Amino acid sequence: MRTLVIQAGGESRRMGRDKALVPFLGRPLIQRIFERLRSIADEHLITTNHPQNYRFLGLPLITDIFPGRGALGGLYTALQAAHHPYVAIVACDMPFASAQLFQTMFETLEKTKADAVIPQSREGNEPFHAVYRKETSLPLVREAIEDGYWRADAWFSSANIRFMSAQEVALFDPQGLIFRNVNTPEEFTAAEELARQMD
C-alpha cells in the first residue's frame, strides 16, 4: 500500500503569491500535479500550513508537526501523516513530476531493503520527488531534527539510500524536465509553454 504526499509548505517569496494555486494551463498547479500522480498511490495527502486554501481538492490536509523547521520538518510531517508503509513525496512546484519514475522507484523500494529511493539530477539529490520506507526513515528524520538539522538530506548518511543516478533518471526524462520547478513568474510562464507543447 502506498501514500502520495504533495508538499505545499513553501513560502513562494519569489512568485509573490502561493505558486501551488497559480493557474497552470487553466487549473491550479497543485491540481495538475495531483492529477499526474494520483494513480501511483492508494492514499493522497497535502501538507500545508494554510489548509483553508486547499480545501477545494477534497484531500486530507496536514499541518507541520515542527513549524519553522524547513525542508526537514516538512519531510517528517509527510512521513508521519502517511498511513501506508511506502510514501512518495513531491513538491507542489514540479509541473513535470513523473508517475512513471515514481512507479519505478516504488518497485525498487519494495524489492530492496532501502530506506528511501532518491533520484539525482545535475544539481544533486532530489528528495522532493522521491519515495520512502516510513518505518525506517521516520526515526532517522526525527533524530536529525532533534540534532538541530534543517536540510532534507541531513539524515542520508545514517540511512540505506538507493540513489538513482542522473543517467538512470534520463531514461524516463530525456528532456530533463521532471525536477524542473517554478519559483518566479518567468519560470512559470516558460514551464507552461513547454507543457502546452507536450500535453
Per domain, the residue ranges of the chain are 2-198
Architecture (CATH level 2) of domain 2-198: Alpha-Beta Complex (3.90)
Q: Which of 166, 191, 2 is nearest to 95 (CA)?
A: 191
Residue bearing the bigger pLDDT, 142 or 199? 142
Give backbone dihedrals phi and psi of 94, rounded to 5 degrees, phi first. Answer: -115, 85
Give backbone dihedrals phi and psi of 77, rounded to 5 degrees, phi first. Answer: -60, -45
The answer on pLDDT for 4 being more than 90 is yes
Q: What's the grid cell of residue 131?
A: 519515495
Q: Please write the tens of the pLDDT for every residue from 145-197.
A: 999 999 999 999 999 999 999 999 999 999 899 999 998 889 999 999 999 98
Strand 161-164 vs strand 116-121: parallel, antiparallel, or unpaired?
Answer: parallel
Q: Please write the tens of the pLDDT for every residue from 33-77.
A: 999 999 999 999 999 989 999 999 999 999 999 888 889 999 999
H/E element, 37: helix 29-37
Total-model pTM: 0.94
- pLDDT at position 183: 87
The answer on pLDDT for 11 being more than 80 is no
Percent of the chain topping pLDDT 90: 85
